[in-house]
Amino acid sequence: MAQDAAPPRGAPISDIDPFTPANILDPYPWHQALRETGPMVWLSRYGVFMAPRHAENFAIVADHQTFCSSGGVGYANFFKEKPWRQPSMLLEADQPDHTRRRAIVGRILSAPNLRGLKAGFEVEANALIDKLLDQGEVEAVFEVSRAYVLKVFPDAVGIGASGRDNLMKYGAMVFNAFGPQNDIFHDSARDLGEVSAWIMEQCEHKNLRPGGLGDQVYQAVPSGAITADEALILVRSFLSAGVDTTVHAVGNALWSFATNPAEWAKMKANPGIVRTAFEEVLRYESPFQTFFRTTTRDVEIGGVMIPANEKVMLSVGSANRDPRKFERPDAFDVSRNLQGHVGFGYGIHACIGQMISRLENEVLLTELARRKVDFEVCGEATRTVHNTLRGFSKLPLRFTQN
């Protein structure tokens, strides 16, 4: 399992395994232990350095030339082993190809270009809220997070209405594949062939609704900015990155507010603060917990020397709870200063879908707050055992209106 990196001389070492089910379910104690161990800690189980503190996480993503993405942003090193799927044209690419493609997709996912989606999201959110108030008690992962995201996001991309559960299965594979090839990954990859084929079919231009976000990618082909082959894989990025992340974010938002009613009271009193409150959800319960970079040269960081061509692990979850950066980091506080949180990453690879993710979450939370809806946990909540994403697989909630 361990990569063939030389053992470090004089570097802080830990035998903590971030990818056991128990550690996945309860990451904050070992995050803290690793932050105390040092700025860069050698994980002996995997043969990689990990950055547990905010400062090094930030420095690494800011230096995309030294810490590149074309070697993959999971544990697998694409320079040494074959990727499990064709690499992403955005996430798993470097300049200048990445920059050229990102300019196209970035414009499509920019706030002005998404403005037209808001009214439709509000209609869906309100129809859902009516139903929730009617039902009272619901399992919110299926009946809120998935129901809402699997409706509004694929509609915006412009894919058909049937088979959307494949998006959840594909997301599970894509994000579990960023971790080691453990049982968690293998379990999620069981229907790989079938699900991948379904996804690739949805990405074809003829299957995308004219005017939708997917079709807009293909509209950049005639100018020569991107090729049709690139367009296909760029649309795949929407379907890879845009569903599971947001589903987890919605669940984490509901849980964070359900368990911190004083913070929800602030939202009901002033729905205008939803925008910053959602950023606090991303800091407090970061859906995208970990990713990796690959070194392009020998580099010194946090007092350790890392040779070229080695993976470096970044912990968004730990960086976002680093007391060196955030006061009382374990408190959910929608009024705090959130500057520098890395829930959407930072630098040239910062989340390109962050505006649509915000739109989806803000619309739902705003409508709940505006309608003075309350929700509380009414049964046992179960977290997802997942190599990369943090969130819930079951979240029983009771919705009431006061």
Residue 360 in contact with residue 353, Cβ under 8 Å? no
Q: How far is the CB of 259 from ligand OVV (least distance, A)?
A: 27
SS3 content of the chain, % helix, strand, coil (to 5): 50, 10, 40
Q: How far is the CB of 106 from ligand OVV (least distance, A)?
A: 13
Q: How far is the CB of 204 from ligand OVV (least distance, A)?
A: 16
Q: How far is the CB of 35 from ligand OVV (least distance, A)?
A: 25
Residue closer to ligand OVV, measured from CB, 35 or 341: 341
Q: Distances in Å between the alpha carbon of 245 and those of 60, 251, 254, 386?
A: 22, 10, 14, 12
Task: Locate all alpha helices (DSSP H) within 243-299, ordered by sequence.
Answer: 244-258, 261-269, 274-284
Q: Decide the pairing of beta strands 41-43 and 13-14.
A: parallel
**What does the alpha-carbon distance between residue 328 and residue 331 come to, in Å, rounded to a whole number?**
6
**What does the alpha-carbon distance between residue 76 and residue 73 come to, in Å, rounded to a whole number?**
8
Residue closer to ligand OVV, measured from CB, 240 or 320: 240
Residue closer to ligand OVV, measured from CB, 40 or 73: 73
Query: Three-class SS string for 305-367?
Result: EECCCCEEEEEHHHHCCCCCCCCCCCCCCCCCCCCCCCCCCCHHHCCCCHHHHHHHHHHHHHH
Which among 49, 12, 52, 11 is positioned nearest to 28, based on CA atoms? 52
Beta bridge partners of 394: 382
Q: How far is the CB of 401 from ligand OVV (least distance, A)?
A: 36
Q: How far is the CB of 3 from ligand OVV (least distance, A)?
A: 22
Residue closer to ligand OVV, measured from CB, 91 or 274: 91
Residue closer to ligand OVV, measured from CB, 38 or 345: 345
Q: How far is the CB of 90 from ligand OVV (least distance, A)?
A: 5
**What does the alpha-carbon distance between residue 51 and residue 344 come to, in Å, rounded to a whole number?**
17
Which positions touch ligand OVV (CB under 6 A)?
88, 90-91, 174, 236-237, 240-241
Residue closer to ligand OVV, measured from CB, 230 or 367: 230
Residue closer to ligand OVV, measured from CB, 35 or 146: 146
